[in-house]
Structure 1
Amino acid sequence: MADHSLKEMSRDRQAKLGHFIVEFATPGIGHILKSAGCDFVLFDLEHSGFGFETVKSTLRYFEAAQLPAIVRVPSLEYHHIARAMDMGAEGLMLPMVGNANQARHIVDSMKYHPAGKRGVALQVAHDRYRPGAVTDKFTGANSRSTLFCQIETEEGVENAEAIAAIEGVDALWVGHFDLSVSLGVPGDFEHPKFRDAIERTTAAAKKHGKALGRLVPTVQQGIELYAQGFDFLCYSGDVWVLHNALAEAINGLRDGCK
């Protein structure tokens, strides 16, 4: 799709296609993903080991490539949320959002007055170090920031509709592995309990006009999920794409060089 902000993407149900970065925060990564056709990138702090210095640098690589970035922070703590926003995250993803109160806390932590209670830091990374009127800065930051709440617990499914109803929540994002564990059916994505949880989360997003996303391991599954109502589709991750492509080539060469 043509270049759009995450906020614009969240407001339509076209397929938005991206990739998950957990390992390779290299200077060329933004341009590589953009050249490959990605609409967005999901940059992970929950499992990657990346710190905020890396976030600050890597977001500049994505900006240079005009590739919107969602930063997944490791917790719902204020300092994780606000620092990611200060570093220039356009999108923010939070793990294991379980209820509406937690969603409101996230909105308060990432939005400036009057939409939230985020501490003020201006003419830094998030506004590209440019001067300007405070009210304009607040308005611009609030309108740009896009929130993805991960539904990956039984509690989150129970409260998915209430979470989706919160002003400032732009999308629900299913964390399928953790959700299956929370439901007591680890890795069984065909289990009736898991399928029911997906149906309930999908219905909540649809009812409140919110986007719906998840990671997809294969092209075929991504197509099937899009038909079910998922519009943010994040295909695999850097580690697994490199590993699988390289393993296929190495094995082919080894077999052919006997």
Structure 2
Amino acid sequence: MVVVPAQDAADAGTGVLEGLAAGRPALGVGVRHARTADVARMARGAGYDVLWIDLEHSAMPIDAAAQIAATATDLGLEAWVRVPERDCGTIGRLLDGGASGIIMPRVETAEEARRVVDAARFPPRGQRSQLALLPQNGFRRLPAAELMRRADRATSVHILLESAAGIAQADAIAALDGVDILHVGLNDLSVDLGHVGDVRHPALTECCARVAAAAARHGKLAAVGGVAGADHYRDLLAAGMAPLILAAIDTDILATGLAQRAQDWRQQLAERS
């Protein structure tokens, strides 16, 4: 017997994306160091909206990423996973394991972006392989067409532009059916453009405006990472970027906390000597 639930979180669509489109800010936290689902519970308790699980800049195994993502999804958070560069082979496994979004770094052509869409979306929009059960649906069995529809609504595809070549192809990439957000990675882009570390350089701001305009022409969102601070964010919002704020990364929080705790103890000991 096939049991169809009345309503699932997956059936409600991606609320964060809808909020961003309406101009509502969303806070994201990057996950590189954590290996257990507790980081999702901490993020939920702290009021974050998105987990950005980073497999490009960590040694995290897929299993750990999927467990964290599935817990985040259960708690009502978006769980986006940045896969290693050009690694389309892990996309289906992560989505099958509980991720709600895929971020592909350093995309430079519409053909590369099309491969990401093919891996992330079921037919007819893509070529994602069929399966009968998904954690996002509580592993309840659905008719195949219904499962595909719900999964497609709950899945977001993010294309990360980090080079001049990628920026030049922003319009063609934004035009692809199945792409939801174009992200600009300011740190790598600053290197590619010859302005290493100067993420506020006018050339980078112009790139952001160009990507935002391309996204808007095709009804998509544009976002940016590597921002210098709140004033910089405000400038980029004025250029058309969505208010998606990567507010923290677990490695930075841990390193900063450890350094501060060591400094506090040394100061206390020095005061008593």
Aligned length: 256
Deviation (angstroms), 1:121: 1.8
What letter corresponds to residue 193 of structure 2 in structure 1?
A: L
Deviation (angstroms), 1:218: 4.1
Deviation (angstroms), 1:68: 1.3
**2:144 matched to which residue of 1?**
134
Structure 1 runs, 4 residues or longer, greater than 6 Å off: none
User: 1:143, 1:64 → 2: CA distance?
Assistant: 16
What letter corresponds to residue 245 of structure 2 in structure 1?
A: L
Is 1:71 matched up with 2:85? no
Report if the CA contact (8 A) 2:70-2:99 is conserved.
no
Residue 101 to residue 138, structure 1, CA distance change in 2 (3 Å)? same
User: 1:10, 1:165 → 2: CA distance?
Assistant: 19
How far does the alpha carbon of each residue in 1:23-75 deviate from its partner, in whole angstroms, 9 at most, with x for none? 11223111111111101110011111112111222123213432111111113
Report if the CA contact (8 A) 1:218-1:236 is conserved.
no
Is 1:38 matched up with 2:84? no
Counterpart selection for 1:164 from 174, 183, 197? 174
Is 1:241 matched up with 2:240? no
User: 1:4, 1:143 → 2: CA distance?
Assistant: 7
Report if the CA contact (8 A) 2:73-2:136 is conserved.
no
Report if the CA contact (8 A) 1:62-1:68 is conserved.
yes
User: 1:195, 1:66 → 2: CA distance?
Assistant: 33
Structure number with greater Rg is 2
| Most deviating of 240-249 and 128-137 | 240-249
Counterpart selection for 1:24 from 30, 34, 38? 34
**How large is the RMSD of aligned CA atoms in angstroms?**
2.2
Report % sequence identity: 29
What letter corresponds to residue 63 of structure 2 in structure 1?
A: E
Structure 1: gaps of 5 or more residues? none
What letter corresponds to residue 74 of structure 1 in structure 2?
A: P
Deviation (angstroms), 1:153: 1.1
User: 2:18, 2:103 → 1: CA distance?
Assistant: 17
Is 1:229 matched up with 2:220? no
Residue 140 to residue 10, structure 1, CA distance change in 2 (3 Å)? farther
User: 2:67, 2:126 → 1: CA distance?
Assistant: 26
